[in-house]
Every structure is written in C-alpha cells, then in structure tokens.
Structure 1
Amino acid sequence: MKRRTVLPLGIVMLGLGSAYLAAFGPHVLTDPLAGVLLTGFALSAVLMIVGGLVVSVPVGDRTIPWNVFVGIGDVLLAAVVTLSAIRSAIVVGDTASWVFAAAMLAGGSSIAWFGVQTVRDSRHVDLEATPSSRRLVAIALLVAVSVGSGAFVATGV
C-alpha cells in the first residue's frame, strides 16, 4: 500500500463509520460486540490517517515509522471485517451467510498477511514509489478474481 493512499482510505473509513452511526443511531452500540467491532474499525481508520500524515513518530528513544501504523491498521481492519462476517453468519445461520463468512475469512487473512508484511517493511510488500509492471499485473488479476468471486457469491448462492 502506498503511503499517499492511506490518508484518503482512513478518511473514507471514518466517514463510513460515522455514516453507520448516523443511519442506525447510537443504540447499535448497546450490543457489546458491535461496539467493539465499530471501535476497531475506527481505530484502524485513525492508524491509517496517522500513517498517511507523518513519516515517523518518536516514542521515547525509538522512532516508529509510518508503515507500522498502516500495517497494524490493516491487521485490525482484517480482524474486524472477518469477525463481523462470522458474527453475521452465526446470527443468520443460512448457507449464503456462511459462504460469505468463509470468503471474508480468506480475504481477511490476505489483508492481515499484507499488514504484517507492511509492518516489517518486507520485500513482499512494495512500498516504493513506482511498483514493477509484474506486480501491477498480479494486483489487477487478484482484483479481477476477487470481484468475480464476490459477484458469484452475491448472485449465485
């Protein structure tokens, strides 16, 4: 994930959380799990915003670079989205909900892996300004497969 994209992503995520609260009211927070999930979503957004705004944050004698904030935000986002889908599947209990939860578990695992690699500034995550063309093709194929799978699950089950 490029640093220039995390600030807008964090802002959009905060907007979505705010819109959710505005649409359904504060009574949605009476369910403790829903409150924890919404708080985790908001915290993930704040971490993305911090990672997009600052290059590093000094904490004592150490300096925490921006990619640590973004990576932890990714892991937290993956956990929140996956747990939310599993919770919905348990509550609803139909086949489509469980298929969606399984898909979200697979997608969430991918996002969490990406977040861990971002924290580590690993060679598996391209934080450079210009990614290679092979990486762009791989990302485009991943997006196409993800969208196609999502459309199949949404319409075919």
Structure 2
Amino acid sequence: MIDELYSARILKLAANLPHSGRLPAPEGTGERVAKLCGSKAVVDVVLDDAGRIAAFAQDVKACALGQAAAGVLGESVIGATADELDAARDAMLAMLKTGGEGPEGRFEGLRALKQVADYPARHASTMVAIEATLDAVREALARKTPDTRTSLAGAA
C-alpha cells in the first residue's frame, strides 16, 4: 500500500519543484510548518494590479508528498487569484478528509494526491505549500489595500 502512496507519478512531481527559491522583493510571504513531520513551505508572491499572482517562489522542505503538492502548485499558480487558491485548498481538504473529488480547473493536478486521504498523518505535509501560498497572497493583498481608517484620519 505504501508503494501506491509513493507512486512514480508522485515521485516525479516531487522531483520537479517549479519556482524554487525566494523572490528578491516579495509583496507577501507565507510560511507553514506541518507539526507532525516538520514539513515546511515558505512562499513569496508579487501580485498584479488585479490581485493575481504575477511572481511566485517557494522554498519547500517536505516529504515526497509535500514536495509533490508544491510541484503541482508551482506549475499552475501564476495568474491565480486568492479565490482560486481558497477553492483549491477547500477542495483539497475535502478530498483528503471526506472523500471529495479534489480541486478542479487550474489546480486539478492536485488530484494526483487523492490516495493520501488514507494516511491522515500525511495530510498536513500535503497542505503546507497551498496554505503558505494563501498566507502570502493575503499579506500582499492587505498591503495593496489602503487602510480606510488611516485615510479617514488623515483627512480630518
């Protein structure tokens, strides 16, 4: 059964980590650690004027499953919005925890990790990259959105 979990496809995805490294001037950075196994993802993003990911880098130190999820994410993340990432994360959690089909559209490749559902101890490592990406995007969006309290206070 463990051979199915670490299939040739999973190992190939794990070996291919697009956008590896860090960005020199990120607008947002997210970091997540899976407490059970120590898998870690640090993600940097730059957003375009519409709030889509224009630049992305990831530094992932994880097991093959976490690396595979990060590989799929890295292949598809440029141009993604926070809403698309939220939907992919929610679908991924449903796939792992309640038998859902998994993400659709841009992040459908994450369905390759469906067999991880049978290994609850591996769920967190599979989620670190997408969670860190969401954190980075939220931080970048917060920096782009002016704080209306500050604007109003400055006008008084």
Do they fold alike, i.e. is TM over 0.5?
Answer: no
Instruction: Select the structure that is richer in strand.
Output: 2
| Greater relative contact order structure (CA < 8 Å, 6+ sep) | 2
Instruction: Select the structure that is richer in helix.
Output: 1
TM-score (normalised: structure 1): 0.29
TM-score (normalised: structure 2): 0.29
